[in-house]
Structure 1
Amino acid sequence: MFSGHEILEIAVNIEVEGEKFYRTISKDIKDSSAKNTFDYLANQEEKHIETFKSLLKRFDEESRELVNWDEATEYLKAMSSHKVFPDADALIEKFRDSTTKEIIEYALDREKDSIIFYYEIIEMIDDRDIKDAVRKIISEEKSHVATLKEFID
């Protein structure tokens, strides 16, 4: 079972791994346009981290109580164990010798996965402020998809 607090912690973790991946790839990539894009995406993920962390601070002990969400719980467990952005260090090693296009295609898939994840969790959230924040982040993740698509179209 997950509380709203735990959902936000999972979201923070996803964004942290994404920020780390983009920041490190940006340092290693030769294509200056791709470097700028990955820097931008890393900064966006950092903003998402701060958004979720500020919402976490708002929670008091009462709102941390567990809620029985049945199948939603199983979905979140699967997503949190596999994460949208798996361990950034492993990804960085995996893509060390990859082309810019391969890295961008992978990042595009992860951004799409994050959108799916956030659409799934938004249905499990009662708190209006958290829902609004997640909707805003979904919108930003969609813009990340558009930004990345520009490189491969």
Structure 2
Amino acid sequence: MGFAFSADEIFALAEKIEKNGAEFYRRAAANAACSDARHLLLDIAGMEDGHQGLFARMRRELAETQRFSDTFDPEGETAHYLAGLANSRVFSDPEDPLPVESNSCSHDLLRKILEFAMGREKDSIAFYRAMKELVETDEGKCRIDDIIREEESHIRMLKNEISLLDQQ
């Protein structure tokens, strides 16, 4: 089955991905032996929470024409497909190498955490760019660009954090 999505469906997916990200960083923080790493991970989780809230607000503000897909889907397959995507993308790999069990609160450990988070943001941008091609309306595509711009701002913030860390 070929899928075409509404902007509303992509925003719902974005909310779920951000929720998964926040949960991922909180789990990592719970395992962190180093308090600086734990605080950094919790800060990043909070940023993911903020993104989830922003995407929820943006979703509520969608025009009616961006809320529904014209694709015939009486079995609700699209919703199941999107739920599977959200649960299998970006923050799903249990083997993700976050070295938080280290007792050392080194500059290197904190940098690795920031670089890891930046990599996940880049992965999500690539994912949204691919999903954008499956959105039916031009105005819906523009709203997906809003998600991408927000994720890009998160990358800039993480790069700034790395620069600040490197200056210490």
Q: Which category of TM-score, normalised to the shorter sequence, fits these structures?
A: 0.5 to 0.7
Deviation at 1:112, TM superposition (A): 2.5
Gaps of 5+ in 1: none
Gaps of 5+ in 2: 72-77
Match of 2:154 in 1: 140
Q: TM-score, normalised by structure 1?
A: 0.66
Q: Tell me if structure 2 keeps the 8 A contact 1:111–1:145.
A: no
Q: Which has the bigger relative contact order, CA under 8 A and spacing at least 6?
A: 2
Residues 91/133 of structure 1: CA separation in 2 closer, same or farther (3 Å cut): same
Within the candidate set 14, 20, 37, 2:17 is matched to: 14
User: Partners of 1:64 and 1:12 in 2: how far apart?
Assistant: 15
Match of 1:85 in 2: 91
Q: TM-score, normalised by structure 2?
A: 0.62
Match of 2:45 in 1: 42
Q: Tell me if structure 2 keeps the 8 A contact 1:84–1:110.
A: yes
Residues 49/17 of structure 1: CA separation in 2 closer, same or farther (3 Å cut): same
Percent identity of paired positions between Structure 1 and Structure 2: 27
| Cα root mean square deviation, aligned | 3.9
- Residue-pair matches, total: 143
User: Partners of 2:51 and 2:20 in 1: how far apart?
Assistant: 12
- Quick check: which one's helix share is greater? 1
Matched, 1:131 2:137: no
Within the candidate set 115, 122, 131, 2:125 is matched to: 115
